Structure 1
Amino acid sequence: MSVPVDPSSSLSLTHLVLNASIVVQIVMAGLVLASLWSWAIIFSFGTRIGSVRKAIDAFEIEYREADDIDEFHRRVSVRDQPIARIFSAGVSEWRRSTSGKSIDREATRERLATAMGAATANEIDRLADRLSFLATVGSVAPFVGLFGTVVGIMNSFMGIAGAESSSIAVVAPGIAEALFATAIGLAAAIPAVIAYNAFSHRINRVEQRLNRFADGFHATLSRRLELEA
């Protein structure tokens, strides 16, 4: 006498993954890996952007309290901080532009603005480097999941043709496999999109603060230029 098979067992997640076609398994594995890497970026970037914002707060307080720019530069030039590198870029350009006997005020101001602007852009590019992966996952993962869905449905139709039956026992595993691939694609894409938008906003805020600091430091050096020229 045959033993009845519990239909629900064939629809368990483990059964769906292990019995899926090789193409769908590859799609699922790729989406899971992309999701895990996205979460790693989300956690690491969240920590990093928080550290950068705290560093900006502390640096600006120190800068306002500093009496001597050159002495302050000696203390902070070794720091691995975006705002410290922007400050160092301004000081370095200031020293190069004012080292000669004659000083071109307007050219010096332009070079200072260019040097600190380029330093700010470099820091923002470095900070946002891995966000492109989140954007890629957010835009591509649903379509990769949809590809797995199409393959799963095709497998279902072939199963129907092979069994010459359209009963739920024949159709359900393939349809469930297809929908599971879609679910994994959405599970990978949704957090990536949300994180990308949130982090992009935070990076814009950091860029604004760095630009404001660069503008303020440029004004300080311009006033110093008036006194020394």
Structure 2
Amino acid sequence: MDSSLSIFSLIISAGFVVQVVMFVLVLMSIYSWTVIMSKKKTLMDANKDIKRFHNNFLADTNLSILHGQIPAQVSNRTPMEHIFGAGYGEFTHTTSASNQALVMNSERAYRSMNTAVNNEVDRLDHGLSVLAMIASSSPYIGLFGTVWGIMHSFIGLASVKQATIAIVAPGIAEALIATAFGLFAAIPATIAYNRLITQVGEIQNKYTSFVEELFVTFQRQK
């Protein structure tokens, strides 16, 4: 390729609007990758926490001992510790040993744990909507830059008596770069969003399974 038609030179020589579009798309791509890497680490930590706490739960089903091992401060608890603590706190809210009291305590604990699960899933979901927005809007933003650039190129051809490929090609090429930038931002965001939202759903299922398992354990307490 001729050096005069290199990608870098086309970006530099592009019109102001097209350059603004490309700059916006670069920012969107950087932000999407920041969200992707941050969310990936958060989900990995959540899976490790689920595995560790569930193993401890299976190793010792003495709920009072297990509750004594978690931090007293709610802000210092991991998600699984928070879910367990919310349920255990409601289950032991009253000291009555009657069957009716145990049933009521178990139901309150079940609702409290589900609320904690919903709050945790909301935390895991946070930021994914922006990732979906980037995935869906980036191609259109890039297309806008392309249309604007091509339109500007054809307007410039109005003053040329004879249009040739050598004259038309640079303007169209620099306009098409905006579409390439849009796809560059959209494709990773789309793939990452679909993968991350699936992982959030899997983690939610694990939380729900633990809540059901713990609810049965509460009902067995005498």
Normalising by structure 2, we get a TM-score of 0.91
21, 26, 29: which is aligned to 1:35? 29
- Is 2:42 aligned against 1:55? no
Pairwise CA distance, 1:109: 3.1
Partner of 1:184: 181
208, 212, 221: which is aligned to 2:209? 212
Partner of 2:128: 131
Partner of 1:14: 8
Partner of 1:44: 38
Pairwise CA distance, 1:29: 0.5
Pairwise CA distance, 1:221: 0.9
**Residue type of the partner of 1:223?**
R
Pairwise CA distance, 1:106: 4.2
**Residue type of the partner of 1:113?**
Y
- Give the 5 Å matches for 1:84-95: 84-95=81-92
Greater mean deviation of Cα atoms: 86-95 or 210-219:
86-95
Aligned equivalents of 1:99, 1:140: Cα separation in 2: 56
Partner of 2:63: 69
Pairwise CA distance, 1:177: 1.4
Q: Conserved in 2, the CA contact under 8 Å of 1:159 and 1:171?
A: no
Q: What runs of 5+ residues in structure 1 fail to find an aligned partner?
A: 1-6
- Give the 5 Å matches for 1:64-213: 64-77=58-71, 79-96=76-93, 98-99=94-95, 104-213=101-210
Greater mean deviation of Cα atoms: 118-127 or 58-67:
58-67
Aligned equivalents of 2:40, 2:13: Cα separation in 1: 38
Pairwise CA distance, 1:57: 0.7
Q: Conserved in 1, the CA contact under 8 Å of 2:149 and 2:174?
A: yes
Q: Conserved in 2, the CA contact under 8 Å of 1:163 and 1:170?
A: no
**Residue type of the partner of 2:127?**
R
Greater mean deviation of Cα atoms: 198-207 or 76-85:
76-85
Q: Alignment identity in percent?
A: 40
**Residue type of the partner of 1:138?**
A
**RMSD across aligned C-alpha pairs, in angstroms?**
1.9
Normalising by structure 1, we get a TM-score of 0.88
Greater mean deviation of Cα atoms: 100-109 or 12-21:
100-109
Aligned equivalents of 2:52, 2:143: Cα separation in 1: 48
Note the alpha carbon deviations across 1:110-166, whole angstroms, 9 max, x for none.
322211111101101101101112101110001001100110110110121133332
Pairwise CA distance, 1:95: 2.4
Partner of 1:223: 220
Say how many residue pairs are matched.
218
Note the alpha carbon deviations across 1:67-118, whole angstroms, 9 max, x for none.
531221121245542111111110121122x246875444333322211111
- Secondary structure at the aligned position of 1:72 is classed as helix
Q: Conserved in 1, the CA contact under 8 Å of 2:92 and 2:105?
A: no
Q: What runs of 5+ residues in structure 2 fail to find an aligned partner?
A: none
Note the alpha carbon deviations across 1:38-89, whole angstroms, 9 max, x for none.
1122222222211211111111111111253122112124554211111111
Q: Conserved in 1, the CA contact under 8 Å of 2:117 and 2:204?
A: yes
